[in-house]
Amino acid sequence: MIQSPAEIRRRQRIKRIISLISIITVLVIWYLATAQFELITPLKFPSPVSILETLGRVQSTIVEHSAVTLLRVLASFGIGPLFGMVVGLFMSRFQIVFAILAPIIEIIRPIPPIALIPFFILWFGIGNFGQILLAGLGTFMVLVVSTIEAVRNVPRIYVQAARSLGASDAYIYRTVIIPAIVPELIAAWRVALALAFALTIAAELMGAQSGLGFMIMVARRSLNTDVILLGIIIIGVEAKLMDTLLNTLTRRITTWTDRN
Amino acid sequence: MSIQSKIHLQQVSKVFDGHRGSTVVALQDTNLEIAENEIVCIVGPSGCGKSTVLNLIAGFLLPTSGRVLVNDKPVAGPGADRAVVFQQDSVFPWLTVAQNLEYGPRARGIPLSERKARVDELLDLVGLTEYRTLFPRQLSGGMKKRVDLARAYANDPDILLMDEPFGALDVFTKERMQVELLNEWQNMQRTIVFVTHDIEEAIFIGDRVVVMTPRPARIASQIVVPFGRAIDSRVKTSQRFQELRQHIMDSLGQVESNGDPQ
């Protein structure tokens, strides 16, 4: 059915209003169940009011911990995926590189990086380096595998067309393979971003002196559920903001796909 | 009998490895000569090896035995002298219309000014000048096929190899593209090998129709189209056209009902 632009806009507005009502309902139920009727004890799940109070009370420490976590995520996310993508591209392009690296990567890849945390603490202590390296390693693996897979998925017909138009192998790699895998790579980058958050928080929970994970861990010891929940909410907000930012930045380089 | 043929298949066979050591004969002891500027259409049911013939000339495949000669030289791989147009959409979706047309000349290192002039000329030829900055996803199927054809022309190839190029288009677009192709041929004069399963299309476009059959995959008969190259799709309804169509249908049916001769 063909809809006029005005009709489409109207429908989008209605959808947005429904979504807004949905989220407000959840907040209201939360408020009623905790602060109003006290169906849940505050110790197990604090009310939204006390969360806001806590935020006001510990503002400066929270900002600090949030910043530390975000910086760690950014550092690992800046190194791991980029490095993984380059390695993946070299492995796809040169069979010798593939033969050398594939077995090593296949051994490391199935191990959940979280299992390495005790070793990392032993080797690198509880400073930034170990935490960044952990998330960097995890995101590196995501991109290596996704890049190789994406290159394999490039339709053969594009390569054949390029070859019969007189393009050399190196030229085809640069002008066909790499642009063709961009959409898949962007998806992999987004997965890597979520993983970078997960691994950074995990590392902070298990051994750190700062960061949201550390803050949650300390609060747990003193049964300070307000701070725990607040920490969780901030992690969610940070992850969502980063994902939105990544999505906005990458949208420009894929104007050619149907995604937009 | 040869008077310097453009393309020459000599006793060509192509065998593919199947599952568990079995083999599939995709083409058997095939001989075919195609003259310069001739339009040869290859028809036949699926599995008759018509695409294999095209892929061998394109250099995507190498023969198991026999020789494939282009300009008296054996084909060693794909090259810019033999442009290929596929049935599937092979226009690069990440390039604009103009960038797609520019791809071949650019890959071969043609200078910018020359490239630009060539692209303008091609856009004009296929009537896409006003769409030059659009991406393929914004085009209709017929327009994409025009981009595909124009991109193939861009390198000024000696030979155009077309593998059911209009197979995925609707009937109206298909007919228009057939007429356009012949019009463009008038200006360029190239050797064209055109694979199709549409007998009417083969008679309309070809100077000669090569009929292939499966099991064994080889050429069953060759028919010279007697009424020249009429660039008017009304010829399709003429009696002679339909008689020829019936003749080819019969020759296909005959070989099929004969079954395996071995």
Q: What is the pLDDT of residues A147-159, one digit of tens each?
A: 999 999 999 999 9
Contacts of B93 in chain A (CB under 8 A): 256-257
Q: Which domains does chain B have, with CATH numbers?
A: 1-67+193-262 (3.40.50.300)
| pLDDT at A98 (0 to 100) | 96
- Cβ B205 vs Cβ B188: under 8 Å: no
| pLDDT at A260 (0 to 100) | 47
In this complex, do B94 and A182 lie within 8 Å of one another by their Cβ atoms? yes
Task: Give the residue from B89, B103, B134, B160 with the most A CB atoms within 10 Å of its CB, the best one to mutate.
Answer: B103
Q: Measure in Å the smallest separation between the Cα of B153 and chain A Cα atoms.
A: 10
| pLDDT at A184 (0 to 100) | 93
For A14-42, give one letter per residue: b (16+ CB within 10 A) or e. Answer: eeeeeeeeeeeeeeeebeeebeeeeeeee
Contacts of A166 in chain B (CB under 8 A): 79-80, 104, 107-108, 155
Contacts of B80 in chain A (CB under 8 A): 164-166
A258: pLDDT confidence band, cut at 50, 70 and 90?
Answer: low
Mean predicted confidence (pLDDT) in A52-70: 90
How many helices (H) and strands (E) chain B has is answered by: 7, 10
In this complex, do B80 and A157 lie within 8 Å of one another by their Cβ atoms? no
For residue B32, the cross-strand partners are B9
Q: Which amino acid is at B194?
A: F
| pLDDT at A126 (0 to 100) | 84
Mean predicted confidence (pLDDT) in A158-176: 94
In this complex, do B78 and A168 lie within 8 Å of one another by their Cβ atoms? no
How many helices (H) and strands (E) chain A has is answered by: 11, 0
| pLDDT at B262 (0 to 100) | 35
B103 close to A (CB below 8 A)? yes
Task: Give the residue from A158, A163, A164, A253 with the most B CB atoms within 10 Å of its CB, the best one to mutate.
Answer: A164
In this complex, do A166 and B58 lie within 8 Å of one another by their Cβ atoms? no
| pLDDT at B53 (0 to 100) | 92
Average of per-residue pLDDT values in chain A: 91
The C-alpha atoms of residue A134 and residue A141 are separated, in whole angstroms, by: 11
A141: pLDDT confidence band, cut at 50, 70 and 90?
Answer: very high
Prediction ipTM score: 0.86
Mean predicted confidence (pLDDT) in A47-52: 89
| pLDDT at B215 (0 to 100) | 74
pLDDT digits over A187-237, tens only?
999 999 999 999 999 999 988 889 999 999 999 999 899 999 999 999 999
The C-alpha atoms of residue A244 and residue A242 are separated, in whole angstroms, by: 5
Low-confidence ranges of chain B (pLDDT < 70): 1-3, 228-230, 254-262
Residue A104 burial by Cβ neighbours in a 10 Å radius (0-12, 13-18, 19+): exposed
- Cβ B42 vs Cβ B201: under 8 Å: no
| pLDDT at A231 (0 to 100) | 94
What region, left, alpha or beta, does residue A259 occupy, with left being phi > 0 and alpha being psi -120 to 50 degrees? alpha
Evaluated on CA atoms A232, A64, A50, A48, the torsion sign reads negative
pLDDT digits over A77-99, tens only?
999 999 999 999 999 999 999 99
* Nearest one of B176, B187, B193, B82 to B125, comparing CA atoms: B187
The answer to whether residue A48 scores a pLDDT higher than 50 is: yes
Contacts of A176 in chain B (CB under 8 A): 92
